Copies of this chain bind each other. A is one copy, B any other.
Amino acid sequence: MSFSILHTGHVEIRAVDLERARGFYVDVLGMVETEREPGRIYLRGIDDPFHHCLTLRKANSPGLGHYGLRVSSSGDLDALEELHKKKGILTRKIPAGHEKGQGEALRVEDPAGFPVEFYHDMDRADILVGKAAYRQGIEITRIDHVTNCTPETKKEFDYYTSALGFAFSSYRINDKGVIDRMFLRRKENTHDLGFQNQPGPRNRHFALWVKDWPSIIRACDTLTMSGLKDKIEYGPGRHTPFDFAVYLHDTEGNRVELYHDERMFIDPEYSVVQRAQANVGGQVSFPFWGMPAPESYIYDQLPVESIIDGSLKPSTPEIRGDSSLTESSLLPRM
A residues neighboring B (CB under 8 Å)? 6-7, 28, 47, 49-50, 70, 72, 124, 126-127, 129-132, 135-137, 141, 187-189, 211-214, 217, 220-226, 229-230, 232, 234-236, 238, 240-242, 262-264, 266-270, 281, 288-289, 291-292, 294, 331-334
Would you give 25 A-B contacts (Cβ < 8 Å), ordered by A?
A: A6-B267, A47-B242, A49-B267, A49-B270, A49-B334, A127-B333, A130-B288, A131-B225, A132-B222, A132-B226, A135-B136, A135-B137, A187-B188, A187-B264, A187-B266, A188-B189, A212-B213, A212-B262, A214-B214, A221-B238, A223-B289, A224-B289, A234-B291, A235-B291, A236-B236
Closest 9 CB pairs of A and B: A132-B225, A130-B241, A291-B291, A188-B188, A132-B226, A224-B289, A187-B266, A220-B289, A7-B266
Which residues from B are CB-within-8-Å of A288? Answer: 130, 221, 224, 229
Given A129-B331, A266-B6, A289-B229, the answer on whether A241 and B213 have CB atoms closer than 8 Å is no
Which residues from B are CB-within-8-Å of A242? Answer: 47, 129, 211
Which residues from B are CB-within-8-Å of A262? Answer: 141, 211-212
**Least Cβ–Cβ distance between A259 and chain B, in angstroms:** 13
B225–A130 contact, CB under 8 A? yes
A264–B214 contact, CB under 8 A? no
Which residues from B are CB-within-8-Å of A266? Answer: 6-7, 187
CA distance A212 to B220 in the complex (A): 16
Name which residue of chain B comes closest to A332, CB basis.
Answer: B127
B6–A47 contact, CB under 8 A? no
A72–B268 contact, CB under 8 A? yes
Other-chain residue from B221, B226, B291 in contact with A241 (beta carbon distance below 8 A): B221
CA distance A138 to B89 in the complex (A): 50
Name which residue of chain B comes closest to A244, CB basis.
Answer: B217
Which residues from B are CB-within-8-Å of A211? Answer: 242, 262
Given A130-B331, A132-B222, A141-B262, the answer on whether A289 and B232 have CB atoms closer than 8 Å is yes
